[in-house]
Chain A
Amino acid sequence: AQSVTQPDIHITVSEGASLELRCNYSYGATPYLFWYVQSPGQGLQLLLKYFSGDTLVQGIKGFEAEFKRSQSSFNLRKPSVHWSDAAEYFCAVGASNDYKLSFGAGTTVTVRA
């Protein structure tokens, strides 16, 4: 079975600074990888996903993520954060022959002025 670890529970970043959120997964075959964002009082919204091909994936809201098979990682990055990026971020992994997603516990991002 697949699993996801998000090592950082909480990250605080200044507005305009860069952001990187870590995600490590455990899965024997090629994983399907996802990043979701949850703003306060909202459901989860898909930021980006990786199935195959180019290991650098572009998403919405200026986010990107890089799949590194050798490190079993799929870290999320944004060059310059905005106050509206304050939210909780979830990494998830799935398998090509299944429909279930395994989620990490999430990383809360606080943006300071």
Chain B
Amino acid sequence: ETGVTQTPRHLVMGMTNKKSLKCEQHLGHNAMYWYKQSAKKPLELMFVYNFKEQTENNSVPSRFSPECPNSSHLFLHLHTLQPEDSALYLCASSQYRDISYEQYFGPGTRLTVT
């Protein structure tokens, strides 16, 4: 595997389910990001981890819970979601948490909440 991978690619879940999204980067980067992409809206930054430490929680509801066990892996745990949480969830990584370092994006997980 190369670059940034995300699993699953598609997920359908009910509002009472618990599921997790997984992101893995094979680039040796130290910063990882979760974004939410809704149709025709700007990407929303949700969480940022720098050297495994969470440095940003952009007012995200507690039904989204991130986890970063090491610099290569990032999870987004989901529980009791709402239909408006349906979106494409993108993971990204960069060498360092700095604007001058390119963010590399994974293909995303398409989440549908029923």
| A binding-site residues for B, Cβ under 8 Å | 4, 9, 32, 36, 41-46, 49, 51, 90, 94-96, 98-106
Q: How many residues of B contact A (CB 8 A)?
A: 23
B96 to chain A, nearest CB (A): 8
Residue of A nearest to B58 (CB): A100
Distance, CA A4 to CA B98, complexed state (A):
19
Closest 5 CB pairs of A and B: A43-B105, A103-B43, A44-B105, A94-B99, A103-B42
Task: Decide: B90 and A44 in contact? CB cutoff 8 A.
Answer: yes
**A104→B40 contact, CB < 8 A:** no
- 22 A-B pairs within 8 Å (CB atoms) are namely A32-B100, A41-B107, A43-B104, A43-B107, A43-B108, A44-B92, A44-B105, A46-B102, A46-B103, A49-B102, A51-B100, A98-B99, A99-B48, A99-B94, A99-B98, A100-B56, A101-B43, A101-B103, A103-B42, A104-B42, A105-B40, A105-B42
